[in-house]
Structure 1
Amino acid sequence: MSDQIKHECGIVLIRLLKPLSYYQEKYGTWRFGLNKLYLLMEKQHNRGQDGAGVASLKIDQPAGKKYLSRQRSNEGNPIQEVFSGIHKRFDNVYDHQPELLNDPIWAKENLPFAGELYLGHLRYGTFGNNSIDYVHPVMRENNWRSRNLVLAGNFNLTNVDEIFKTLIDLGQHPKDYTDTESMLENVGHFLDEENQLLFRQFKNEGYSNKEISALIERDLDVRKVLERSSRRWDGGYVIGGLIGHGDAFAMRDPWGIRPASYYANDEFVVVASERPVIQTALNIRSTEVQELKPGHALIIKKDGRVSEEMVTVPQDRKSCSFERIYFSRGSDRDIYKERKELGRLLSPVILDKIDWDLENTVFSYIPNTAETAFYGMMEGISEKLDKVKAERIMALGDDLTEEKVTEILSLEPRIEKVAIKDVKMRTFITDDSSRDDLVAHVYDVTYGIVKNQVDTLVIIDDSIVRGTTLKKSILRILDRLHPKKIIVVSSAPQIRFPDCYGIDMARLKDFCAFAGAVELLKDHGKHDVIEQVYKQCKEQQYLPKEEIVNYVKEIYKPFTDEQVSAKIAEMLKPDDIDAEVEVVYQTVDNLHKACPKDQGDWYFTGNYPTPGGNKVVNTSFINFIEGINRRAY
């Protein structure tokens, strides 16, 4: 993606099902779990660079011995900072008694992060700020082990206001107004209630307080705690949690908006945000990795029992299609195929746009994430071209000669690597004009491969959100090659509506598709549409989220997709370039064909899976009209 968009976080949960001595003997180190945690987090570093954190829990640690450890960082390289901090705890032992580092029994008794449970998190900040206090895992501590709670998640709630009010009505005094704090205290409240319920039950049966603690740890109903906690949650979420005595869980929202996968055998259980990182870290097949079902929780009891249990009733599956297009790792088998298919489905419209003039067209892509879609687009063009070649050869009839057949077969698309992404540039300059000049050099081009004022340059990007980098950088750079025309192709449809489930795209004013539609309304004298939508949004501003309708759809209704695309091209074309510019977007129908299992398309259609989505989009429109520059949830 040429526009850099911050997006959802990543989580890792590891439960070792054997004593640490088992891993020392089989794998040569009791740090097996810690090492796998590092690898799984590194393989998901694309999911969060604002912060990273790790929590570790020791099961059955004697009273008076620390059993919970946490290390977090919001520095420039947070994963490295976290694990450097963990390993520094071992340095003093290595300097004085190095043999103890290979003693799993001594390590568990004396070293932090020598435990059976690990919870890791990678953060992209979409709520709150980037201070260390907002870095997961977050903790709710208590002197009773079964009341301790550690949470880390990939989530955004649209109704933090409702949850916050509920906590206040319960008599709590939340220390912060964020979805993280709300979720932590919400789960914590019902964890306390479950503890108290069991305490009364066992007290009535005549057990001592000391006996009751062990019985609560045995019988704690994690599923019930999660079911009661999540009843009011509106949003997309995957959360991982540790409970102080040794239970653990990972839970997914009922629409399956945010992704989660897991693998379990008799040695360990691993949960991660993405399937291929589990495959890589554990060297297993994709078919061995399970998807955590929407509305379900993977619950790992202290005694090692593992179950996937329904927590909330699953809804129509609306897993995020934008995950597939851009954010998830392209090394996943299915995602790779889907991205290729997105490109292939664009080939007919591209051939029509260039009037099948392959001789005077150069095809390329914007590195690096659009490469897979580019392969698919070129495969699609080659398939169409093969049919044309066959028809032309058949049409030769009696006039068929080797020379004519060779000439027909020589017709091939011209494929070149035109744009080359340079080293990542950090912009320390605050002056806007100087900053823009620096941005214009993020990409280099390959000179001498485009015929001046003759060739059309077709270049594919995986998505065009704001169009800022296209306007300020890429189009100017491509114009240096002196093409007659530049066609920018997006493998994703037009992004028209804000996200509120974890991706940092909450402001309508940032979307070039929205800006294009508003300009078209003004061009056609339809200012009344804008005024009417604003009025409708204001009228329902304080209604319950379940009663709110997405009236922002009306902004786009008067125009075809092609009209909006043409306006976007007009707005993104810099005044100082010579080439014509055209923008082509994927269709929503083709998106569904390419990603048939992931129907979450609210970015493109405004069809939000939860009621809170309609509330967010209307608030975002109100903010746009009133000039309020803040997130709409």
Structure 2
Amino acid sequence: MSDEIKHECGLAFIRLRKPLPYYLEKYGTALYGLNKLYLLMEKQHNRGQDGSGIASVKLNVPNGYAFLNRMRSAVPQSIAEIFQKIGLEVKELEKYQKDISQHPELLKGHLPMLGELMLGHLRYGTQGKNNVEFCHPFIKRDLIPARNLALAGNFNLVNTDELYQLLNIEPGEFQKQSDLAAMMEVVHHFLVKEDELNPNNASIVHVLQKATPLFDGGYTIGGLTGNGNSFVMRDAHGIRPAYYFANDEFIVAASERAAIRTTFNVGENEVKELMPGCALIVNEEGAFQIHQILPPKERRACSFERIYFSRGSDEKIYRERIALGHHLSKTVLEAIDYNLKQTIFSYIPNTAEVAFYGLVKGMEEYLNQIKIQRILSWGNDITEEKLQEMINRKIRQEKIAIKDVKLRTFITEDNNRNEMVQHVYDITYGTVKKNEDTLVVIDDSIVRGTTLKESIIRMLARLEPKKIIVVSSAPQIRYPDCYGIDMSKMGDFIAFKAALSLHKKRGMEGNLIELFNTCKEMERNNQLHTENIVRQVYKPFTTEEISAEIAQLITPPELNLSVEVIFQTIEDLHDSCPTNTGDWYFTGNYPTPGGNRVCNRAFMNYMEGKNIRGY
């Protein structure tokens, strides 16, 4: 998307089911598991660039030796740094014993991160700061192995304060900024209680059954215990994604199906989806089961996974993004008055390319129908020249904009910075017939509209098209997210700004005050979670009215140029992405009560002039 937002952490889990010498003999290295963990994380690096971390558990370690270890990094290339450090440690060991890599158990004893259980995480900081202390996994240590816990996840919780109160814990400054810290306290609390009841035989199923009903949010979490138990679990609505694969050599889980397929070279149907409310639980012997921990609720898997976040190398996601673009073709044809001769199609940014293919496919289908009708209308009056001209008609596609990844806007003074932002993209000159061609560009989604106004529209205007049509493969983003995407402030959304502008133009500002007072009253009665009041902000206006107002807001005032914005419909979104129906950021229909509370709080913050998070 042209407006970058932080989002979606990534999880990677591997449990080796054979002794380390097996992998040395079959694959030529005792580091097989670590190598695969690196690939699994690297294939998901799009999911988190604020830091990463790994934890490992060694099985059958003599008393007095470390069995749970962790490495984390918050540098720009954090995955590479972690695994480079491990590589350097191996080289250092080889100085003292050249063939140590041929002795897996000896290598295991001297290389901290070499173990049979591995948990990796990629972080996008939706809460907390971006220093290394906030990188997952978090760990809790104890003298009793079964009470040691490493935990990581792709999630946000919206009830961390309540969790601390439940455990009668006064959180420190660090704990207040990390929802994983709150989750860790809860899971570890029940892990200790379970171990007290069943020493050395604690049931992870019981632990999760007691802990996870307390969490309000969307999550996929992974955990390792010091005695060799492990788990990966998904929330009851399936908001955050999780997939797994198992054979007799290893068990693996990750946030993206394609990452598992590529890393381990397995077929699509071999990688299973971990269903909502279920946990993949592996015991210390390496046997695994899928347990239904929470009763499954209405499936609300995040639709942004399919629109933008997950990598498009997954064949289902690829087809769905094609469909997103294809569904928009009829509306776009109407907007250009079916004049394909004088319309150029392009996309910004590169992540919108697949949806662009779908849009062009729809245009080609229409053009082919026209060709057939015209040729049939000629009857016997067909000449080679006429036929050649008709067959050679194509949809005009151009690479209009190229992002200059080397350009950085170091200057922060507003006027100078806006000038610099305009040049983040380079344009391709000579592609547009001035004042004749309409330019249609497709984007994944439009969040803030800032980049469109300050960079893309200004840049495209230099080509002097007759009209610019911006097409979003996602519907209007109207509401904050609180389940893993960093969209928590109402004032950031161009759709919200458009609604406010319409209220002002029509003398309806009083409605906003009334809604604000309603939220304040609900807050006093502890009812802020019961209803999404912010829906009433949009109710007086049609989707088309808000789209038209967005078009005005993203058009720089000094440009004498017609700009139109077309958004995906909710109905076509669900038709394109039938398994991921989570749409609360578009519709305000939150799957948990905490979502309503966050949304109402974000509106109150805006009305009070507070530029802070809604949770």
Name the amino acid aligned to 1:575.
Answer: P
Give the number of equivalent residue pairs.
614
Map of 1:256-267 to 2, 5 A cutoff? 256-267=238-249
Q: TM-score, normalised by structure 2?
A: 0.97
Number of the residue aligned with 2:47: 47
Q: Which amino acid is the alignment partner of residue 41 of structure 1?
A: M
- What is the CA-CA distance between 1:253 and the residue it aligns to? 0.3
**For the structure 1 residues 284 and 290, does the alpha-carbon distance in structure 2 shift closer, same or farther, using more than 3 Å as the test?**
same
Aligned alpha-carbon RMSD (Å): 1.6
Cα offset, 1:404, TM superposition? 4.0
1:228 is aligned with what amino acid?
K
| Counterpart in the other structure of 2:182 | 182
Gaps of 5+ in 2: none
Aligned to 1:389: 371
Aligned pairs (5 A) from 1:314-329: 314-329=296-311
**Which residue of structure 1 lines up, in the alignment, with residue 35 of structure 2?**
35
Letter in 2 for 1:479: A
Partner SS state of residue 605, structure 2 = helix
C-alpha contact 2:529 2:594 (8 A) present in aligned 1: no
SS in 2 for 1:24: helix
CA contact (8 A) 1:255 1:294 kept: yes
Contact 2:468 2:562 in 1 (8 A): yes
C-alpha displacement of 1:547: 5.1
1:111 matched residue in structure 2? 111
Does 2:422 correspond to 1:440?
Answer: yes
Cα shift at 1:576: 2.9
Q: Show the counterpart of 1:17.
A: 17
Deviation sequence 1:15-56 (CA, Å, 0-9, x none): 000000000000000000000011111111111111110111
Partner of 1:250, secondary structure, is strand
1:465 aligns with 2:464: no
Distance 1:424 1:224 in 2: 52
Shift of 1:601: 0.4
* 1:222 shift after superposition: 0.5
Q: Which is worse superposed, 359-368 or 95-104?
A: 95-104
Match 1:252 to one of 226, 234, 255: 234
Counterpart residue identity of residue 388, structure 1: I
2-side partners of 1:179 and 1:324: how far apart? Answer: 25
Q: 1 CA distance for matches of 2:423 and 2:521?
A: 47
Aligned to 1:204: none
1:628 matched to which residue of 2?
Answer: 610
The 1-side partners of 2:459 and 2:174 are apart by 49
After superposition, the C-alpha distances for 1:268-310 in whole angstroms (9 at most, x for unaligned) are 0111110101111111111110111110000010011111101
1:167–1:174 Cα contact (<8 Å) kept = no
1:591 partner letter: L
Q: Supply the distance in 2 between the matched residues of 1:38 and 1:102 (Cα, whole angstroms).
A: 21
Q: Aligned letter for 1:504?
A: D
Deviations 1:433-491 (A, max 9, x none): 22222221111111101001111000111111101111110111111111111101000
Where in structure 1 are there 5+ consecutive unaligned residues?
Answer: 200-215
Q: Give the deviation of 1:59 after TM superposition.
A: 0.7
Which residue of structure 2 lines up, in the alignment, with residue 308 of structure 1? 290
Q: TM-score, normalised by structure 1?
A: 0.95
Q: Within 2, Cα distance between the matches of 1:337 and 1:574?
A: 35
Q: Map 1:480-559 to 2 at 5 A.
A: 480-544=462-526, 548-559=530-541
Question: Residue type matched to 2:85 in 1?
Answer: G
How do 1:273-352 and structure 2 match up within 5 A? 273-352=255-334
Q: What secondary structure is seen at the aligned counterpart in 2 of 1:227?
A: helix
AA of the residue aligned to 1:190: F
- Partner letter of residue 441 of structure 1? H
For 1:110 and 1:618, locate their aligned partners in 2 and report how far apart those are by CA, in whole Å.
53
> Percent identical across equivalent pairs?
53
Which residue is 1:476 aligned to? 458
- Residue aligning to 1:208: none
Mapped contact 2:274–2:280 kept (Cα < 8 A): yes
Distance 1:48 1:175, change over 3 A: closer
AA at the equivalent of 2:351: T
Question: Secondary structure, in 3 states, of the residue corresponding to 1:460?
Answer: strand
In structure 2, distance between residues paired with 1:174 and 1:268: 39
For 1:495 and 1:347, locate their aligned partners in 2 and report how far apart those are by CA, in whole Å.
21
Structure 1 match to 2:131 = 131
Aligned partners of 2:529 and 2:596 also within 8 Å: no
SS at match of 1:359: coil
- Which amino acid in the other structure matches residue 551 of structure 1? I
How do residues 350-389 of structure 1 correspond to structure 2 at under 5 angstroms?
Answer: 350-389=332-371
Quick one: structure 1 residues 545 and 229, their matched pair in 2 at CA, closer, same or farther if it must change by over 3 Å?
A: farther
The alignment status of 1:270 with 2:258, answered yes or no, reads no
State the secondary structure of the residue aligned to 2:351: coil
Q: What is the SS of the residue equivalent to 1:575?
A: coil
Cα displacement (A) at 1:411 = 3.3
Counterpart secondary structure, 2:168 = helix
For residue 576 of structure 2, the aligned residue among 594, 606, 627 is 594
Instruction: Give the structure 2 partner of residue 59 of structure 1.
Output: 59
CA contact (8 A) 1:486 1:582 kept: yes
Matches of 1:271 and 1:72, distance apart in 2: 20
